[in-house]
Amino acid sequence: MNHDKSILLIIVQLLIMTGLVMMEMTNEPQGIFRGVLFTVLFIITAILLFMRFRFMVKLKGIVRALKRAIAGNVNTRLLTNDDPLFSEVIFSINELIEQLDKVKVQTIKSEAARKSLLSNISHDIRTPLTSIIGYVDALKDDIAVSREERQAYVEVISKKANALKDLIDEIFHLAKLDANEIPLKPELLDFAEIARESVIEFLPDLKKIDMKLEVSIPEEKCLIVADCLSLRRIINNMIKNAIQYGKDGKVLGIKLIENTKEYQLNIWDKGVGISKDDAAKVFERMYRTERSRNPLHGGSGLGLAIAKALVEKNAGRIWVESKPGIKTTFSFTLPKRNDS
């Protein structure tokens, strides 16, 4: 209540000064009463000066704390006192420092993620480029003797170039998602129909690797409001992932479930699976298990990260459950259409 006290003291001080002026103007006797007024006036002035000094000390303390926070010491916190107005300012400053601390932590994490991402991207771009250059040089130097051998070299170059193009496309897509440059166009969609259409696109690939398909999608409409392109990309990325890493299990499962407030799509396989440690990181950018680092398995490490970003932009959830060697299920949900 120091603020209220100072106002009260100033009012009393003004009243005393007014009384003294009045006494001077009316030539009232200058006795003990006048002396008492001067004494009280002196005491009030001294108290106000003391309060002002305390205020300046606290203000300098706040300035020092802010300078420490600006210098990087975001663990700094200010202590409140019995002045509500001052305490409110201190609470606001502490909240600001806390937000600064969170931003600093996030910046450190983002910087580490950026360096890791750049390192992985440079590796994944350099590797196919090296192969392409090697095979092109081999063709230029006529190392391939037969026509069949030259055709094999060309096929390898084409495969590596297409993989490189896909990687660059996904990098740009993820960058646009981060910059919020991909506008979503929510519309009324039939989740079941889009899931069926997405599965049909992969039938030739499944037949080529002799992978059995088990589908459980309701015949009736499953209405949601979402961005159509996003939904198709989410499903495609997750099916690609299941085929790529689960083809040894020879079965791919698709199941659409209706929950109370949302629809849930499960995409599962019976491949080697994902360890508990990897499952916690599998949606991170460029993260791949040691097994998927094998050139035979390929993969950009961005497909699931893109799927996660798109699911969250459409107000959904995404996760993975895996029992290595038995069954691995990637699931995501999207809210039902709100009829209210």
Q: What is the pLDDT at residue 228? A: 94
Q: What is the pLDDT at residue 288? A: 60
Q: Residue 251: inside a domain, yes or no?
A: yes
Give residue 257's pLDDT band: very low, low, confident or very high (50, 70, 90). Answer: very high
**How many domains would you assign to the chain?**
3
pTM of the model: 0.64
For CA atoms 121, 281, 166, 179, give the dihedral sign: negative
Write the pLDDT tens digit of every residue in 11-30: 776 777 776 666 665 665 55
pLDDT for 157 beyond 50: yes
Whether residue 322 sits in one domain with residue 212 = yes
Q: Which domain holds residue 193?
A: 186-335
Whether residue 167 sits in one domain with residue 57 = no
Return the CATH number at 174: 1.10.287.130
Pick the residue with more confidence: 139 or 180? 139
Closest among 257, 236, 233, 244 to 211, alpha carbons compared: 244
Q: Residue 89: inside a domain, yes or no?
A: no
Distance (Å, whole) CA 267 – CA 223: 19
How far does CA 208 lie from the centroid of its chain?
Answer: 38
Q: What is the pLDDT at residue 27? A: 61
How far does CA 266 lie from the centroid of its chain?
Answer: 24
User: 272 and 335 in contact (C-beta within 8 Å)?
Assistant: no
Find the mean pLDDT for residues 26-49: 68
Whether residue 320 sits in one domain with residue 197 = yes
Q: What is the pLDDT at residue 295? A: 42
| φ and ψ at residue 121, rounded to 5 degrees | -65, -45
pLDDT for 194 beyond 80: yes
Whether residue 323 sits in one domain with residue 193 = yes
pLDDT for 73 beyond 90: no
User: 206 and 213 in contact (C-beta within 8 Å)?
Assistant: yes
